[in-house]
């Protein structure tokens, strides 16, 4: 591995992908049978979480765009071009 200008180790993206692929293969190669139980109340819980996330996102976007609409136009600063009125 090589160091960047800050002296920190730089990890290439191909090595990251390799590690992820090897980890996935190890998980899939496990011959054990998963004996898991899913509670019947888990489905409605997922629906409730999805609806709450959707409504929260909708409200956040509403607030964001309403603030953009209500914001007054930016005033000119010294860096901006001068107006032609003299």
Predicted confidence (pLDDT) per residue in 4-41, tens digit: 666 665 555 677 788 888 888 888 887 777 677 778 88
Determine the distance from the C-alpha atom of residue 46 to the mean position of all C-alpha atoms in its chain, rounded to a whole number.
20
pTM equals 0.42
Of 65 and 81, the structure prediction assigns the larger pLDDT to: 65
What total of structural domains would you count in the chain?
A: 1
Range of the domain at 66: 40-70
Residue 65 lies in a domain: yes
Does residue 86 form part of some domain?
A: no
- What's 84's DSSP letter? S
Instruction: Report the b/e string of 61-82 with b at 16+ CB within 10 A.
Output: eeeeeeeeeeeeeeeeeeeeee
What 3-state DSSP class applies to 9? strand
What does the alpha-carbon distance between residue 22 and residue 16 come to, in Å, rounded to a whole number? Answer: 10
Is residue 48 assigned to a domain?
Answer: yes
Can you tell me the mean pLDDT for 60-67? 94
In a domain, 21, yes or no: no
């Amino acid at each position: 591995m090589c160091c960047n200008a800050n002296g920190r180790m730089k990890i290439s993206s191909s090595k990251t992908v390799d590690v992820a692929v090897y980890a996935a293969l190890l998980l899939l190669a496990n011959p054990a049978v998963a004996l898991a139980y899913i509670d019947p109340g888990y489905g409605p819980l997922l629906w409730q979480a999805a609806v709450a996330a959707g409504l929260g996102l909708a409200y956040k976007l509403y607030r964001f765009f309403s603030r953009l609409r209500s914001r007054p136009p930016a005033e000119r600063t010294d860096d901006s071009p001068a107006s032609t009125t003299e």
